[in-house]
């Protein structure tokens, strides 16, 4: 028998976690009644900030790729942090670290972006093995940060399947203090352990590849609906990018409407899950 966290509310699940970033995310979801994360993949600071201010009231988390911003400076980080306080959301830099421990520790703490100093959550590919977790944790754990491991991807033909996924989940279980969950396409509960073993690890699953109006893009992205992701696959957070801001990041009224639409779809699917 497996303890199922899927029927617990986000509020109840706060107590399953010790990591401050995991607690913060669950508290924010419970407080704001949203499991929507928006991925702000634009190249100009002005658009980046306008989208965040527009979607802020509807999200639990803002996901960034700061390395695509052409006019990046430290002031942008201050503005992002101010919005995180104003709108009450968690920050996740989607850096996808993938190197040896010593290198990722430097990439996480230093360089132009100094990710560890402002991003509550970041993520890593498990491909180098457990040393990537030790490297990132040497920087992030003292700061109260959390790490997500990419155990699956949303793209066509992904190699993150089968025993790769299983081994990655095992790696996470061995580092519960810093690894708070996964980027994956379904619940990872019970993955990589024997069927009759109780799985007492409540990991968060954040899921990209979510769209209500399209099935994918021309570069291998695949979309599923919030209902498929949250209710049918047992994920916790929907990550939506272009489905919300489309091709025109300056059309903030339209962006607000879309953010509300995704927030409502995600929350409805969650309510159906916890009450089933
Ligand atoms: F790990 C992953 C993944 O498997 N699929 C993704 O799409 C990450 N992503 C990110 O989510 C990707 O880098 C984008 O930042 C975002 C999805 O954006 P979209 O506009 O909703 O397709």
More confident residue, 1 or 31: 31
CB atoms within 10 A of CB 194: 7
Question: pLDDT (tens digit, 9 = 90+) per residue, 111-157?
Answer: 999 999 999 999 999 999 999 999 999 999 999 999 999 999 999 99
Q: Is the pLDDT of residue 258 over 70?
A: yes
Atom of ligand 1 nearest to the CA of 154: 4
Q: Is 94 a catalytic residue?
A: yes
Q: What is the pTM of this model?
A: 0.98
- Of 105, 34, 98, nearest to 259 by C-alpha is 34
Q: What is the pLDDT at residue 40?
A: 98
Mean pLDDT (whole number) for 72-100:
98
Question: pLDDT (tens digit, 9 = 90+) per residue, 261-276?
Answer: 999 999 999 999 999 8
Q: What is the pLDDT at residue 248?
A: 81
Question: pLDDT (tens digit, 9 = 90+) per residue, 53-69?
Answer: 999 999 999 999 999 99
Strand partners, 207: 238
Catalytic residue among 44, 96, 114, 260: 96
Pocket of ligand 1 (CB under 6 A): 39, 41, 65, 94, 150, 153-155, 183, 208-209, 221, 239-243
Q: Is 99 a catalytic residue?
A: yes
Atom of ligand 1 nearest to the CA of 209: 7
Catalytic residue among 44, 88, 99, 114: 99
Q: What is the pLDDT at residue 209?
A: 98
Q: What is the pLDDT at residue 197?
A: 82
pLDDT > 70: what percent of the chain? 99
Categorize the per-residue pLDDT at 211 as very low, low, confident or very high, splitting at 50, 70 and 90: very high
CB atoms within 10 A of CB 44: 14
Unique residue bearing structure tokens 């979510």:
210
Mean per-residue pLDDT of the chain:
96
Q: What is the pLDDT at residue 101?
A: 98
ipTM: 0.99
Q: What is the pLDDT at residue 196?
A: 79
Atom of ligand 1 nearest to the CA of 158: 4
The span from the CA of 66 to the CA of 53, in Å, is 17
Categorize the per-residue pLDDT at 108 as very low, low, confident or very high, splitting at 50, 70 and 90: very high
Mean pLDDT (whole number) for 97-116:
98
Q: What is the pLDDT at residue 3?
A: 52
On whether 41 is known to bind a ligand per the annotation, the reply is: yes
Q: What is the pLDDT at residue 47?
A: 95
The span from the CA of 66 to the CA of 40, in Å, is 9
Q: What is the pLDDT at residue 175?
A: 97
Ligand 1 center from residue 208 Cα (angstroms): 5
Q: Is the pLDDT of residue 2 over 70?
A: no
Ligand 1 center from residue 82 Cα (angstroms): 25
The span from the CA of 120 to the CA of 145, in Å, is 5
Categorize the per-residue pLDDT at 1 as very low, low, confident or very high, splitting at 50, 70 and 90: very low
Instruction: Please name the residue whose Cα sits nearest to atom 12 of ligand 1.
Output: 208
Cβ–Cβ < 8 Å for 98, 89: no
């Amino acid at each position: 028998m497996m303890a199922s966290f899927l029927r617990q509310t986000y509020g109840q699940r706060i107590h399953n976690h010790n990591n401050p970033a995991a607690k913060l995310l669950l508290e924010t979801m419970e407080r704001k009644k949203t499991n929507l994360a928006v991925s702000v993949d634009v190249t100009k600071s002005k658009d980046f900030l306008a989208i965040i201010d527009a979607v802020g009231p509807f999200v639990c988390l803002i996901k960034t790729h700061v390395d695509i911003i052409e006019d990046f400076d430290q002031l942008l980080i201050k503005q992002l942090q101010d919005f995180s306080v104003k709108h009450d959301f968690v920050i996740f830099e989607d850096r996808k670290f993938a190197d040896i421990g010593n290198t990722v520790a430097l990439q996480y703490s230093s360089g132009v972006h100094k990710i560890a100093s402002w991003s509550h959550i970041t993520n890593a590919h498990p491909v180098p093995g457990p040393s990537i977790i030790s490297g990132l944790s040497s920087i992030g754990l003292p700061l109260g940060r959390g790490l997500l491991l990419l155990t699956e991807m949303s793209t066509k033909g992904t190699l993150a399947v089968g025993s790769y996924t299983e081994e990655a989940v095992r790696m996470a279980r061995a580092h519960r203090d810093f690894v708070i969950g996964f980027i994956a396409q379904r619940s990872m509960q019970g993955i990589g352990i024997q069927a009759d073993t109780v799985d007492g690890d409540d990991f968060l699953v954040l899921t990209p590849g979510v769209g209500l109006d399209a099935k994918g893009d021309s570069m291998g992205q695949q979309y599923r609906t919030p209902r498929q992701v949250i209710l049918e696959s047992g994920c916790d957070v929907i990550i939506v990018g272009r489905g919300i801001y489309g091709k025109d990041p300056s059309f903030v009224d339209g962006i607000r409407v879309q953010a509300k639409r995704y927030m409502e779809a995600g929350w409805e699917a969650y309510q159906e899950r916890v009450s089933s």
